[in-house]
A and B are shown apart, each in its own frame.
Chain A
Amino acid sequence: MLTIARVEDLVKNYYLETVVVRALRGVTLAFEQGDFVALMGPSGSGKSTLLNLLGCLDRPTDGKYLLGDQDVSTMDDDQLSEVRSKYIGFIFQSYNLIAQYTVVENIEVPLLYQGRVDRATRDRCQRLANMVGLGDRLDHRPSQLSGGQQQRVAIARSLVNDPHVILADEPTGNLDTKTSGEIMELLLALNESGKTIIMVTHENDIAGWARRIVRMRDGYIESDTRLAAIVKRNGTVQH
């Protein structure tokens, strides 16, 4: 399989006033195209730091990060912004929609910063809204939508730039069980259509939807397990 993203010996230190927080102490991982990875671990294990680095929101202290065929670890702020706008889709725990924008406009935001917004892209945004089941709410604002609906908008937004990889940070963290299931169904469907998804979660049930679970502890990879295909296919969460 094609490797879409690879990190080698990734180190991230945070320098506070007197202490050095060593969030990542040398992480090497490869993500294949079409993979669905759950990053797990207790708080402070470094999973959020890793996700931020994978999302090009931050630069590593040391080590290498290859996204597609580009070495991202040495890029400057503008280049990282461009990488984010072109190759990465974000889904956040708290949806992070822009309050004053409608559904379609929110989906459109990543394209705004690629400087390509026109009638064609507007159509594309509407199709994506249809796909996530919000075709009848195109002109609603986030405050008029439920949590699940907002997360669907966020998912549509993460797809609009046709990214190499979708990064999901606790995508169901703010949702009830039923809605969580619906969101995971949607992510699963995306993955099955070929999208690469890396998801941070601390819930085993949610992690059960993934193909591969990477557990972290104290800045190291603790375990890296590929789930049996059958588990995934029957991946309905039982409660």
Chain B
Amino acid sequence: MNLFPTIRRTVIMAVRNLWLHKLRSFLSVLGIIIGTCAVISLMAFGEGSMQDALEDIKRQGLTNIIVMSVKPPDDATSQRRSFIANYGLTDEDHRRMSETLSGTVVATLPMRVFAGEIRPVTESRMYVGRIVGTTPRHFVVYKLEKSMAAGRFLTAEDEQPSPKNVCVIGAEVATELFPGEDPLNKSIKVAGKDRAFIIVGVLKNRMPSSTGAEVEKYDGDIYIPLASCRALLGEISFTRSTGSRGAEKVQLNRVVLTVDEAGDTDEVRDRVRNTADMVRAQLEMHHEKKDWDIRIPLDRLEEAERTRDRYRVLLAFIAGISLLVGGIGIMNIMLATVTERTREIGIRRALGAKQKDITLQFLVEAVVQTTIGGLLGVGLGLGVVFLVPWLADLLSQKVPAAIHQPSIFMAFFVAVVVGVLFGWYPARRAARLDPIEALRHE
């Protein structure tokens, strides 16, 4: 007996039978539809937000080690007002790192970062932004090649031979201080000093990045050469926060060490960790207080990846449960159908159907149901994945979604398998009916 026409005929028969009871068939596969849809859309939204997080981390540079100055919490001086808090990384630290780690670290980026006023020279506007004293290397470390809206970033000529008073401003600074104007070549004053800085570059809007709990925004930044910053302010920066005024003496707020430019391999990862350990040891030796902290984007990446994997396992578990419930729904209806069609089974048996013919008939019906349910679920899921971000966009919300292709195939495959598993028992029950009893069934 040729198997293919038999299967084909059985499938056609199954589809016809299901079409005969459209509502019932639909209701019985509803569980499968919702299950599949849920798996695909949840995976997509999960994947979307995870990808955003991973992108963010990658933007911070997987081969970078970020050393930061941190105001020590147990510093008694912070209690007293208008006293200069002296802490953090020093130029000496930076020099030491550059020298001792020159074997593994290809470049360092020292930075000063503090809040301050920014005013145009000719206008009376004012913006409180973040003043960043940095070097041209900033451009590479923060991957700004695609973020320049106009002009250029700081270059070596801005520092050497003598520091120049030039700056690059963030997008928000530009729109706040120079609405409707081209900020290039305009002059601004920073941190309440009289010296004017000429704007040589404007940046586009940039995605904020998160470092653990803090979110770092860039659009209110103004970048000036580190040497100019020193010349302008010395080592003391004044801070104003609600109700208190203070000054801080911090030589460097941040040093970004780049271990390797090449990329992300296991070997590089190990090197990043070893280097971080060395930096840590060095800082512990030379600092009495814990006024520094080391952030390793790589660690955060791995943590995020672990989170993503946990999320996936959790989702797979939920998916498994929902498809299990869907399968029970199918089995329930199939059992009822077998009872209802006992007489038909008897007729078929009397006319020559073998047990395996009956098994096949009901199994195919179950599998056709779950397959169609799976397809509908995939369609619905994809619909949700495309529709929800679009709707959210209309409401000015951002719902990142990234279709996770394996989840589509997995969900569909599982739906079909559920049909086989949960169709099997009712089908066998149908096949094992005694033909004489079945014929007598009313």
CB within 8 Å of B: which residues of A? 52, 55, 57-58, 77-78, 81-82, 84-86, 90, 92, 96-100, 109-110, 112-115, 117, 157, 161
Which residue of chain B has its CB nearest to the CB of A97?
B347
Residues from 342 to 365 in B contacting A, C-beta threshold 8 Å: 343-344, 346-357
Partner of A110, one of B343, B351, B354, B435: B351
Which one of B2, B352, B353, B355 contacts A86 once the chains associate, using CB atoms below 8 Å?
A: B352
Per the bound structure, the CA–CA distance linking A81 and B358 in Å amounts to: 12
* A78–B358 alpha-carbon span in the complex (Å): 12
Tell whether B17 is near chain A: CB-to-CB under 8 Å: yes
Question: Considering the chains assembled together, what is the distance between the CA atoms of A97 and B357 in angstroms?
Answer: 18
Within 8 A of A (CB), among B297-355: 343-344, 346-355
Task: Assess the A115–B354 pair: CB atoms within 8 A.
Answer: no
Does B355 lie within 8 Å of A113, measured CB to CB?
A: no
User: Among the listed B17, B357, B439, which residue makes an inter-chain contact with A113, where contact means beta carbons less than 8 Å apart?
Assistant: B357
User: Is B76 engaged at the interface, CB distance under 8 Å to the other chain?
Assistant: no
- In the A-B complex, the 4 residue pairs with the smallest Cβ-Cβ separation, listed nearest first, are A85-B352, A115-B1, A113-B352, A81-B354
Chain A residues in 8 Å Cβ range of B354? 77-78, 81-82, 113
A77 CA to B435 CA, complexed, in Å: 11
Which residues of B have CB within 8 Å of A55? 350
CA of A57 to CA of B350, assembled, Å: 7
Q: Which B residues are in CB contact (< 8 Å) with A97?
A: 347
- What separation, in Å, do the CA atoms of A77 and B349 have in the docked complex? 10
Known: A96-B439, A161-B352. 4 other contacts (CB 8 A): A81-B352, A109-B351, A115-B5, A157-B351
Is there contact, CB below 8 Å, between B436 and A57?
yes
A81–B344 touching, CB < 8 Å: no
Check B355 against A114 for contact (C-beta < 8 Å): no
Are A57 and B344 in contact (CB-based, < 8 A)? no
User: In the complex, which residues 1-59 of chain B have their Cβ closer than 8 Å to any Cβ of chain A?
Assistant: 1-2, 5-6, 9, 16-17, 20
Residues of B within 8 A of A90 (CB): 350-351
The answer to whether A84 touches B5, judged by C-beta atoms less than 8 angstroms apart, is no
User: In the complex, how many angstroms separate the beta carbon of A181 from the nearest chain B beta carbon?
Assistant: 26
Kindly name the residue among B16, B346, B352, B356 whose own CB sees the greatest number of chain A CB atoms within 10 A. Answer: B352
CA distance A85 to B2 in the complex (A): 17
- Rounded to whole angstroms, the CA-CA distance of A113 and B353 in the bound complex is 5
Residues in A with CB closer than 8 Å to B357 are 81, 113
- Tell me the complex Cα distance, A112–B348, Å: 10
In the complex, the answer to whether B352 meets A100 with C-beta atoms within 8 Å is no
- With contacts A112-B9, A115-B5, A115-B6 taken as known, whether A84 is within 8 angstroms of B436 at the C-beta atoms is no
Other-chain contact of A77, B5, B344, B355 (Cβ < 8 Å):
B355
Which of chain A's residues have a CB closer than 8 A to the CB of B9? 112, 117
List the count of A-B residue pairs having beta carbons below 8 Å apart: 66
Residues of chain B contacted by A109 (CB below 8 angstroms): 347-348, 351
Interface centre among B16, B350, B354, B439 (most CB of A within 10 A): B350
List 5 A-B residue pairs with CB atoms under 8 Å apart, sorted by A's residue number.
A78-B355, A81-B354, A81-B357, A85-B352, A100-B20
Residues of B with C-beta under 8 A to A52: 436
Asked whether, in the complex, the Cβ of A98 is within 8 Å of the Cβ of B353, the reply is no
Q: Are B352 and A110 in contact (CB under 8 A)?
A: yes
Nearest Cβ in chain B — how far from A167, in angstroms?
Answer: 10
The residue of chain B having its C-beta at the shortest distance from the C-beta of A78 within the complex is B354
Closest residue of chain A to B346, judged by CB? A96
Q: How far is the CB of B17 from chain A (nearest CB, A)?
A: 6
Q: Which residues of B contact A58 (CB under 8 A)?
A: 436
Interface centre among B5, B347, B348 (most CB of A within 10 A): B347
Chain A residue numbers with a CB within 8 Å of B347 are 96-98, 109
Name the B residues within 8 Å of A96 (CB-CB): 343, 346-347, 350, 439
Instruction: Compute how far the CA of A108 lies from the CA of B353 in the bound complex, rounded to whole angstroms.
Output: 13
Chain B positions 160-194 with a Cβ under 8 Å from a chain A Cβ = none
A98 and B352 contacting across the interface, CB-CB below 8 Å:
no
Nearest chain A residue, comparing its CB with the CB of B6: A115
Which B residue's beta carbon lies closest to that of A158? Answer: B351
The docked-state distance in angstroms from the alpha carbon of A215 to that of B346 is 28
| Nearest A residue (CB) for B357 | A113
Closest Cβ of chain B to A84, distance in Å, is 5
CB distance from B332 to the nearest CB of A (A): 22
Chain B residue contacts of A110, Cβ below 8 A: 351-352
Q: Separation in Å of the B321 CB from the closest CB of chain A?
A: 35
| Neighbouring B residues of A115 by C-beta, 8 Å | 1-2, 5-6
Among A58, A98, A161, residue most surrounded by chain B Cβ atoms (within 10 Å): A98
| List of A residues within 8 angstroms of B343 by Cβ | 96
Q: Is the CB–CB distance between B351 and A100 below 8 Å?
A: no
Which residues of B have CB within 8 Å of A78?
A: 354-356
Let me know if B350 and A113 touch, CB within 8 A.
Answer: no
* Contact (Cβ within 8 A) A84 B351: yes
CA distance A109 to B346 in the complex (A): 13
User: Distance (Å) between the CB of A79 and the closest chain B CB?
Assistant: 9
Shortest CB distance A190–B (Å):
18
Q: Are B436's CB and A113's CB within 8 A? A: no
Residue numbers in A under 8 Å from B20 (CB-CB): 100
A84 closest partner in B (C-beta): B352
In the complex, the answer to whether B350 meets A99 with C-beta atoms within 8 Å is no
Contacts of B16 in A (CB 8 A): 100
A57: chain B residues at CB < 8 Å are 349-350, 435-436, 439
Report the Cα distance A52→B440, complex, angstroms.
Answer: 12
Which residues does chain A contribute within 8 Å of B344, judged by CB atoms? Answer: 98-99
Give Cα distance in the complex from A113 to B215, angstroms.
Answer: 70
CA distance A115 to B3 in the complex (A): 9
Complex: chain B residue closest to A81, CB-CB: B354
Q: Which residue of A lies closest to B431 (CB)?
A: A77
Complex formed: what's the CA distance from A85 to B352 in Å? 4
